């Protein structure tokens, strides 16, 4: 019995020592075998998936087609229409003021030069066809404060697009206009804006009469007339500043004529006043030479 036990111990000792000595190689061999096994399982699963797809190709195509059909909003005409942004929320003075002030504070608008604070008590808003004859936009006009050189061009106009979400199509500093000055003047289904402004620069009075539209989301001027005058505009001793033959006033008086076919024409009265001699301002104004003509302009 002792010999047997001793023999067993003698036989086991070399094996235990060898196992301990070879443990790193054994671990490497075990890890390599595990990776090989996992790769084999992965390949077998991948091949199974490929074989399954081959067997059910038609079924997968049907499911894919039905998925596309379900995701198409035009596929089911009985579904409710997509809810668009409500432009009526832009009638709230608080909302309008925040948007307007943010436009001014950014100082990145090349259509504004000296507009500052806004007056939310003096504004109006309307929704109409301003960019195309099928989609309405929200227009807002606010009065504000500007430098004296701007005259009454102290208004901020903001045109919003509300197709899916609110976007600003155009914003800028403009003259004065009323809701009655918004009309389709050329019969294309898009509303134009008739705007006038006046200001005084260095003893010269300036007046602008503009008809513009935002067709295709861009500001387009259909008609414009610019008047200038140095008479009664801040400078005295005009005879010292101007000589005989100089133009003292070049003025355009414009108004819209409504035709029967809903189109409009512009009636333009053009007045020119020319220095015709005189040693004093009263004499000069008394001798002034005036020419005047009237033109009817068709808007297109």
Structural domain boundaries in the chain: 2-71, 87-298
Please tell me the distance from the alpha carbon of residue 107 to that of residue 206, in angstroms, as a whole number.
26
Q: Let me know if 160 is exposed, middle or buried by CB neighbors in 10 A (0-12, 13-18, 19+).
A: buried
pLDDT one-digit tens code per residue, 132-147:
999 999 999 998 888 7
| Rg of the chain in Å (alpha carbons) | 41
| pLDDT score of 33 | 58
Name the nearest CA neighbour of 155 among 198, 206, 218, 214.
198
pTM over the 0.85 mark: no
Is residue 4 over pLDDT 50? no
Query: Nearest to residue 171, comparing CAs of 152, 151, 144?
Result: 144
Q: Is 15 helix (H, G, I), strand (E, B) or coil?
A: helix
Q: What is the pLDDT of residue 207?
A: 94
In this structure, the chain runs to a length of: 300
Residue 16 has pLDDT above 90, yes or no: no
**pLDDT of amino acid 266:** 96
Distance CA 69, CA 72 (A): 5
Strand runs labelled E in 43-174: 118-128, 137-144, 155-161, 167-174
């Amino acid at each position: 019995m002792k010999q047997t036990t001793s023999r067993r111990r003698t036989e086991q000792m070399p094996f235990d020592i060898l196992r301990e000595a070879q443990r790193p190689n054994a671990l490497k061999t075990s890890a390599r075998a595990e990776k090989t096994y996992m790769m084999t399982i992965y390949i077998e699963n991948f091949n199974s998936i490929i074989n399954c797809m081959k067997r059910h190709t038609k079924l997968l195509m049907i499911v894919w087609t039905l998925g596309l059909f379900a995701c198409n909003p035009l596929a089911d005409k009985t579904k409710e229409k997509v809810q668009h942004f409500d432009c009526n929320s832009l009638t709230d003075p608080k909302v309008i003021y925040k948007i307007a002030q943010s436009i001014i504070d950014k100082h990145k608008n090349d259509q504004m030069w000296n507009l500052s604070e806004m007056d939310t008590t003096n504004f109006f808003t309307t929704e109409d066809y301003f960019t195309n004859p099928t989609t309405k936009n929200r227009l807002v006009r606010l009065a504000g404060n500007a430098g004296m050189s701007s005259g009454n061009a102290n208004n901020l106009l903001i045109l919003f697009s509300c197709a899916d979400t609110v976007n600003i199509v155009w914003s800028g500093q403009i003259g004065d206009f009323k809701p009655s000055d918004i009309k389709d003047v050329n019969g294309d289904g898009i509303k134009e804006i008739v705007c006038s402004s006046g200001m005084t620069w260095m003893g010269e009075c300036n007046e602008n009469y503009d008809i513009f539209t935002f067709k295709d989301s861009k500001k387009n001027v259909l008609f414009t007339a610019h008047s200038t005058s140095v008479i009664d505009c801040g400078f005295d001793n005009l005879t010292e500043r101007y000589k005989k033959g100089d133009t003292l006033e070049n003025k355009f008086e414009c108004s819209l004529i409504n035709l029967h076919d809903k189109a409009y024409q512009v009636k333009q009265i053009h007045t020119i006043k020319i220095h015709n001699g005189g040693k004093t301002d009263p004499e000069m104004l008394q001798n002034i030479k005036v020419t005047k003509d009237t033109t009817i302009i068709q808007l297109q």
